[in-house]
């Protein structure tokens, strides 16, 4: 059972202050910020012996992606569900928007926002003026103005290459999508490909003929790229491919299976995301687990902590991802 003293120690206030608040002392006056912090700690520890409730926070969540992109990449749908679940636990009332302009007509101001996806520079200025309590997920367009919670894509990419190298692979390929610059509406090199190229260049192992990228992070893109791999390489495959996302990997496997290319016999595959379908395709994908629940929980708790403490500093939090080993690539012990 959680005690008053445990709550006091974690919250940083005296046991007397915590006791008078939680026991509804009618003569006790306390600052709103102090009250909310104590209540938050009490809730985190599972204390239920009080009638107080955390204030309801109004949080906007902006998805800077198209409905087509969300439909093609189940990652975003899973992230949406995880954010909703994490917010409910902290008494946050959330609303989803595809456009920042959709928020303008609302009468009640928001307490903060979370943003997912890519936004034009003019939209970022609007967001910065909208609220200083802000968190970006997956990316950080400007660390001087925004905090973010992101998968550690650099660590994932480097580790994937090292996994291949530990198996003696020297011919390592890449298959991925493009980053679409919202300011120019033109495709650019995605960060996964950029990191991949830079690291292999440092190792003296970069071979452009084994790099294929274009389009969205979708099954259709993967299938098209898989067909391109087959046509251009004519079975001169690298030892293994690092594929930028599971949906792309699923499409690549479809193309490979149609042409009798066997994974991992003809080439190995390491992918990213660990979406549900990754364990059901043939062969099941070895992939890095992007923990959506951890991303969402960390973002919501960071936002909540900033609201409680009025913290205006900006942080960039990177979330570690574990490699889930299945049959598309089996590393050496």
The string over 268-293, giving b where at least 16 C-beta atoms fall within 10 Å of a residue's C-beta and e elsewhere, is bbbbbbbbeebeebebebbbbbbbbe
- What local confidence, expressed as pLDDT, does residue 167 receive? 96
* Fold of domain 153-290: Rossmann fold (3.40.50)
Among 15-19, 108-112, 150-154, the range scoring the smallest mean pLDDT is 15-19
Domain 57-151+292-319, CATH class in plain words = alpha beta
- What local confidence, expressed as pLDDT, does residue 52 receive? 55
Element spanning 3, H or E: none
8 Å CB contact between 317 and 305: no
Kindly state the percentage of the chain with pLDDT values over 90: 65
Kindly list the distances between the CA atom of residue 281 and the CA atoms of 187, 240, 287, in Å, as whole numbers in the listed order: 29, 18, 12
- What local confidence, expressed as pLDDT, does residue 50 receive? 58
The stretch 285-304 carries a mean pLDDT of 95
Reported as a single tens digit per residue, the pLDDT across 125-160 is 999 988 889 999 999 999 999 999 999 999 999 999
More confident residue, 57 or 135: 135
- What local confidence, expressed as pLDDT, does residue 22 receive? 72
- What local confidence, expressed as pLDDT, does residue 260 receive? 95
How far apart CA 93 and CA 144 sit, in angstroms, is 27
- pLDDT for 1 beyond 80: no
8 Å CB contact between 179 and 191: yes
Could you tell me the residue ranges of all domains in the chain?
A: 4-45, 57-151+292-319, 153-290
For residue 306, name the pLDDT band (cuts at 50, 70, 90).
confident
- What local confidence, expressed as pLDDT, does residue 290 receive? 95
Would you give the end-to-end CA distance of the chain in angstroms? 44
The mean pLDDT of the chain is: 89
- What local confidence, expressed as pLDDT, does residue 309 receive? 77
Among 36-50, 91-105, 288-302, the range scoring the smallest mean pLDDT is 36-50
- What local confidence, expressed as pLDDT, does residue 24 receive? 67
How far apart CA 143 and CA 314 sit, in angstroms, is 7
- For 132-236, list the strands marked E by DSSP: 134-137, 147-151, 172-176, 178-181, 186-189, 211-213
The stretch 229-252 carries a mean pLDDT of 96
Task: Tell me whether domains 57-151+292-319 and 153-290 share a fold.
Answer: yes
Among 9-23, 28-42, 301-315, the range scoring the smallest mean pLDDT is 28-42
């Amino acid at each position: 059972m959680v005690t008053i003293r445990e709550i006091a120690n974690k919250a940083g206030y005296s046991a007397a202050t915590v006791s008078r608040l939680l026991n509804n002392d009618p003569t006790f006056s306390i600052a709103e910020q102090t009250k909310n912090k104590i209540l938050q700690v009490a809730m985190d520890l599972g204390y239920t012996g009080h009638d107080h409730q955390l204030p309801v926070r109004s949080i906007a969540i902006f998805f800077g992606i198209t409905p087509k992109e969300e439909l093609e990449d189940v990652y975003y749908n899973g992230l949406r569900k995880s954010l909703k679940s994490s917010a409910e636990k902290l008494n946050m009332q959330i609303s989803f928007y595809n456009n920042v302009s959709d928020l303008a007509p609302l009468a009640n101001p928001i307490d903060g926002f979370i943003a997912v996806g890519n936004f034009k520079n003019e939209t970022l200025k609007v967001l910065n003026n909208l609220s200083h309590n802000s968190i970006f997920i997956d990316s950080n367009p400007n660390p001087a103005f925004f905090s973010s919670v992101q998968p550690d894509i650099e660590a994932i990419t480097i580790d994937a290459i090292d996994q291949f190298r530990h198996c003696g692979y020297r011919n390592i390929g890449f298959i991925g999508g493009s980053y679409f610059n919202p300011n120019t509406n033109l495709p650019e090199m995605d960060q996964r490909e950029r990191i991949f190229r830079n690291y292999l260049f440092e190792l003296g192992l970069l071979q452009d003929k084994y790099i294929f990228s274009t389009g969205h992070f979708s099954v259709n893109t993967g299938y098209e790229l898989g067909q391109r791999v087959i046509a251009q390489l004519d079975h001169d495959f690298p030892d293994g491919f690092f594929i930028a996302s599971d949906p792309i990997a699923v499409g690549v496997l479809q193309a490979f299976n149609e042409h009798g290319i066997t994974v991992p016999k003809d080439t190995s595959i390491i992918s990213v995301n660990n979406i549900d379908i990754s364990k059901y395709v043939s062969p099941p994908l070895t992939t890095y687990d992007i923990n959506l629940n951890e991303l969402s929980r960390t973002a919501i708790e960071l936002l909540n902590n900033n609201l409680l403490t009025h913290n205006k500093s900006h942080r960039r939090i990177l979330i570690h991802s574990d490699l889930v080993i299945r049959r598309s690539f089996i590393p050496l012990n």
